[in-house]
């Protein structure tokens, strides 16, 4: 089969022929890839940022946002059958450790992460397990939801945490209305009656945010903090959801937070530098977010089937993977880029 592989860091990936994945265990599932999301993490992988953290051996196939159709199953698989459309939870988990048994499988003690530390979905086929496949509603096309497997799941995981703490009349600031942020905006609107304030540098992204349910939109031009304080009676927002995590977003977000507020770190790339006296004197909370659980993904697919969450996508054939990566790096992708084998 054809697959896009990393052969060396700081060099372009290459399209090569590799063996088709094979069933080797009773719970294995081989999926014919219908769509693979192109994520900014893929750019960081190619730059070598994940080299020491993942420990992966090169060459390997990238791509960690995947959906498609079941092509083959192991003898013990009962939850899906050949031909079923599925989206893949990004982790392959053991099901036996304490985290898995608690439904917190994102923290599985012996997981694999296809596309990060093992072969992923920039390919025609991908092997996963029965624990990782989520059947899709017939109304959903794999290519249309593929990026929800990671970008959407990450956004849902964070927003669902925030929604459980927010009350009617509260305010939430969403920083970033791009690939992750535009999903988070939809999830927040679906799960909470909160007054939503969206901040972004792009007028186009803010226009989309308004369409998706934002109550207020603010251009990130240095004056946004003052506007947030005006909108919240001078107190700041109960929650800030930061889908950017760099380029001044953190400083802005902290300044927009009220006393005892919650700051959800979702985007990454920058540094979090806050005087500890500011943290204890106001009792503000910083909450990290890593992907999401299998149950989170199932819940997100319910919202997708109800058309309460949808992806804005740009599609590329698998052979145009470099164009997709270049467009993403240049900021030329509206929503999410999807590779179609």
Q: What is the pLDDT of residues 8-34, one digit of tens each?
A: 999 999 999 999 999 999 999 999 999
Residue ranges with strand state E in the chain: 2-6, 14-17, 28-38, 60-61, 66-73, 85-88, 125-129, 133-135, 171-175, 195-200, 216-219, 237-242, 257-265, 285-288, 313-317, 336-340
Residue ranges with strand state E in 20-177: 28-38, 60-61, 66-73, 85-88, 125-129, 133-135, 171-175
Could you give the angle at which helices 321-329 and 40-47 cross, rounded to 10 degrees?
Answer: 100
User: Structure tokens of 121?
Assistant: 């979905």
Confidence category of residue 49, pLDDT binned at 50, 70, 90: confident
Across 178-198, average pLDDT: 95
Q: How far apart are CA 293 and CA 157, in angstroms?
A: 8
- Average pLDDT, rounded, for the chain: 95
What is the reported pLDDT for 109?
A: 95
Q: Write phi, then psi, for 179 (nearest 5 degrees).
A: -60, -50
pLDDT above 90 (res 269): no
Phi-psi sector, 314: left (phi>0), alpha (psi -120 to 50), beta: beta
Number of H helices and number of E strands within the chain? 12, 16
114: which DSSP letter? Answer: B
What is the reported pLDDT for 251?
A: 93
Q: Any idea which residue has 């349910």 for tokens?
A: 213
Name the helix (H) or strand (E) containing 88.
strand 85-88
As a whole-number percent, the residues of the chain with pLDDT over 70 amount to 100
Across 230-244, average pLDDT: 97
Domain ranges of the chain: 2-150+310-340, 154-288
What is the reported pLDDT for 158?
A: 97
Q: Pairing state of beta strands 60-61 and 2-6?
A: antiparallel
Look at residues 197, 229, 225 and name the one whose alpha carbon lies nearest to residue 213.
Answer: 197
Q: Any idea which residue has 């794999």 for tokens?
A: 142
What is the reported pLDDT for 309?
A: 95
User: Is 0.85 surpassed by the pTM of this model?
Assistant: yes
Residue 273, judged by CB atoms within 10 A of its CB (0-12, 13-18, 19+), counts as exposed
Q: Which CATH number fits domain 2-150+310-340: 3.90.180.10, 1.10.10.10, 3.40.470.10, 1.10.10.60?
A: 3.90.180.10
Confidence category of residue 179, pLDDT binned at 50, 70, 90: confident
Model confidence pLDDT, tens digit, residues 122-174:
999 999 999 999 999 999 999 999 999 998 999 999 999 999 999 999 999 99
Confidence category of residue 334, pLDDT binned at 50, 70, 90: confident
**CATH class of domain segment(s) 154-288:** alpha beta
Report CA-CA distances (Å) from 138 to 8, 142, 300, 305. Answer: 40, 10, 15, 9
Question: Is 154-288 in the same CATH topology as 2-150+310-340?
Answer: no
């Amino acid at each position: 089969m054809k697959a896009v592989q990393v052969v060396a860091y700081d060099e372009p990936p290459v399209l090569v022929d590799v063996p088709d994945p094979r069933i080797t265990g009773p719970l294995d599932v081989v999926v014919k890839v219908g769509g693979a999301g192109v994520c900014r993490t893929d750019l960081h992988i190619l730059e070598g940022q994940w080299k020491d953290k993942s420990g992966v051996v090169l060459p390997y196939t990238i791509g960690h946002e995947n959906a498609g159709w079941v092509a083959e199953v192991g003898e013990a698989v009962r939850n899906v059958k050949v031909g079923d459309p599925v989206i893949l939870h990004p982790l392959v988990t053991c099901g036996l450790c304490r985290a898995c048994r608690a439904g917190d499988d994102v923290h599985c003690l012996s997981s694999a992460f296809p596309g990060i530390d093992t072969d992923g979905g920039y390919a025609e086929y991908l092997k996963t397990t029965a624990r990782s496949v989520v059947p899709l509603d017939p109304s959903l096309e794999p290519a249309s939801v593929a990026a929800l497997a990671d970008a959407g799941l990450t956004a849902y995981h964070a927003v669902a945490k925030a929604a459980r703490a927010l009350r009617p009349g509260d305010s939430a600031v969403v920083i970033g209305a791009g690939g992750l942020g535009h999903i988070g905006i939809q999830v927040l609107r679906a799960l909470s009656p909160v007054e939503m304030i969206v901040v972004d540098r792009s007028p186009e992204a803010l226009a989309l945010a308004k369409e998706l349910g934002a109550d207020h939109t603010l251009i990130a031009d240095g004056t946004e903090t003052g506007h947030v304080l005006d909108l919240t009676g001078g107190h700041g927002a109960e929650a800030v959801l930061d889908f950017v995590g760099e380029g001044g977003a953190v400083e802005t977000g902290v300044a927009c937070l009220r006393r005892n507020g919650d700051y959800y770190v979702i985007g990454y790339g920058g540094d979090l530098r806050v005087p500890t006296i500011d943290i204890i004197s106001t009792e503000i909370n910083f909450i990290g977010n890593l992907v999401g659980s299998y149950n989170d993904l199932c819940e997100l697919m319910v919202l997708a089937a109800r058309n309460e969450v949808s992806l804005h996508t740009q599609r590329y054939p698998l052979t145009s993977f470099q164009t997709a990566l270049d467009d993403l790096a240049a900021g030329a992708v509206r929503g999410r880029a999807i590779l179609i084998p």
